[in-house]
Amino acid sequence: DPKAQDIQDEIFSQSEHIFVMSKGMQRFYEEKYQLAKFVPLVHTFDAYPPDESLSGLPGADKEVYQLVAIGNFYESNIEATRRFLLAIENNQRYELNVYTHVPPMLLRQRGLDTSSFHLRGFVKPEEVHNVLQQYDLCVLTHGFTGGYGEVEYRTIFPTRTIPMLLSGKPILAHSPPNSFLNDFISENRCASLVVEASESSIIAALDLLSGSLEQQEQLVQAARKTAEQFYGPNVVQTLKEKLA
């Protein structure tokens, strides 16, 4: 709508700060409008989990690694999730456990073979941390293609990333090049990142991560540091500074 675009341009030009939902949106708008006034107000958490709640690293000597994925599974990540399942379906070392409110029939309609993973059902947000402690590695998938537009795939930031960063568990992320999530992980080195749309690349990354206690420790330490960006008081402070 040309009129709506004119209104937006006028508001943008008169604004001192423009708040957006993520750093991905910030980068996108900065590129599009050539303005340096976009400020991300990111998703937050209000308390760090106590150290005694962490069950520890899986180590490098397990015969079977229990993987866990949480959240919704739809156009934002279904294609990457399907590829991940195909990668591990004939590998006896890895079993995926999925927590989601999406019913099995709908998951099958979206292309997931529900017989290839353990479907655990819905988990309340306040219970996610304790659930993650039952598993060895967290899995984060981000769609390479699907029913959304290019901009959406570039800028999506899965909110389930935050409890994973706080879980004390290593994260394996399957995320496409040129996405903000990819940039975020690369800059913070907080997860093992698979950027190729390749089943063999997924298995190679899993084998490397599960076989290296050193890598597990490095990723978990970096994840804890990265989570500071989403700590509620830090985000509130940013807002206060911009509004002052």
pLDDT, tens digit, 9 for 90 and up, residues 21-64 = 998 899 999 998 899 999 999 999 999 999 999 999 999 989 99
Closest CA to 43 of 192, 157, 182: 157
Under 8 Å CB-to-CB from 190, ≥6 apart: which residues? 165, 171, 219, 222, 223, 225, 226
**CB 88, CB 68: distance < 8 Å:** no
Under 8 Å CB-to-CB from 106, ≥6 apart: which residues? none
What local confidence, expressed as pLDDT, does residue 120 receive?
Answer: 97
What local confidence, expressed as pLDDT, does residue 218 receive?
Answer: 98
Q: Report the C-alpha gap between 141 and 82 in whole angstroms.
A: 9
Please give the C-alpha separations between residue 45 and each of 40, 86, 132, 163, 188, in angstroms, as whole numbers: 15, 33, 16, 9, 18
Please give the C-alpha separations between residue 201 and each of 57, 76, 88, 120, 173, in angstroms, as whole numbers: 23, 21, 11, 27, 12
**CB 164, CB 141: distance < 8 Å:** no
What local confidence, expressed as pLDDT, does residue 203 receive?
Answer: 98
What local confidence, expressed as pLDDT, does residue 178 receive?
Answer: 86
What local confidence, expressed as pLDDT, does residue 183 receive?
Answer: 93
What local confidence, expressed as pLDDT, does residue 8 receive?
Answer: 87
